Every structure is written in C-alpha cells, then in structure tokens.
Amino acid sequence: MKALCCLLTSLLTACAPNILVVDEAGSPVPDATVVPLSRGFSWPSKRTGNDGGVFIHQDIPTIENVRAYKTGYQPSEMVNYDLPKPITIVLQKSDRE
C-alpha cells in the first residue's frame, strides 16, 4: 500500500504544470497557447488551464524553447526550456483590441 501511495504521488508530481503563463499583474492567463520548439521542428501546441499552467514533456528531438500567445496579448519572446521549472512566461496586454 505504501508503495502504491509513493507511485501515485510521483505520477501526480510529474504531471504538475512546468510552464505558467501570467499577465503583468501575475494573474494566471487561462487558455493561452504554449508552443514547444526545437531546431527545425515545432511540437503540437498545448493550452493552459484555469491556473495558467501546462505540462510540457521533454521529448526527442529535444525541446529548446517555448513560446506563449493569446488573443488580446502580445506573443511572448522565445523562452529557454532549460530554465528551472516551473518556467513563468509573462504576457503583456496588446494595445490593439
């Protein structure tokens, strides 16, 4: 039973968001699109949840950068995926709406 609890805990921890998308005030940005990028390859994008978080699994080819965007916000710069997790990406509100 103790081994099962340890296994479940490690599985839940492994799926915790490792990318957080927030606005300038630090509030979560739900439903933002996060795109993992490798040299010459774009992974399928993922959407953030209500907490502004998403889990991006490192795969082969290796993910080098991530980028986030959402309508009403300026797209983020490319962010190095090797930074300590969770990585926080700040989106700035767009002047055009």
pLDDT at residue 71 greater than cutoff 90: yes
Q: Is 85 part of a structural domain of the chain?
A: yes
66 pairs with which residues across the strands? Answer: 36, 79
- 10 found inside a domain: no
* Residue 8 pLDDT greater than 90, yes or no: no
Average pLDDT, the chain: 86
Query: Does residue 6 sit within a domain?
Result: no
pLDDT confidence tier of residue 95, bands split at 50, 70 and 90:
confident
71 phi and psi, to 5 degrees? -55, 135
What is the average per-residue pLDDT within 40-66? 90
- Domain extent, residue 36, equals 17-90
DSSP 67: E
Domain assignment present for residue 95? The answer is no
Average pLDDT for residues 40-68, to the nearest whole number?
A: 90
Does residue 5 fall inside a structural domain? no
Q: Does residue 59 belong to any structural domain of this protein?
A: yes
- The whole-angstrom distance between residue 19's C-alpha and the CA centroid of its chain comes to 3
Q: What's the CA gap between 97 and 91, in Å, rounded?
A: 15
- CA 17 to chain centroid, in Å, comes to 7
CATH of the domain at 52: 2.60.40.1120
Domain count, the chain: 1
36 occurs within a structural domain: yes
Instruction: Determine, yes or no, domain membership for 82.
Output: yes
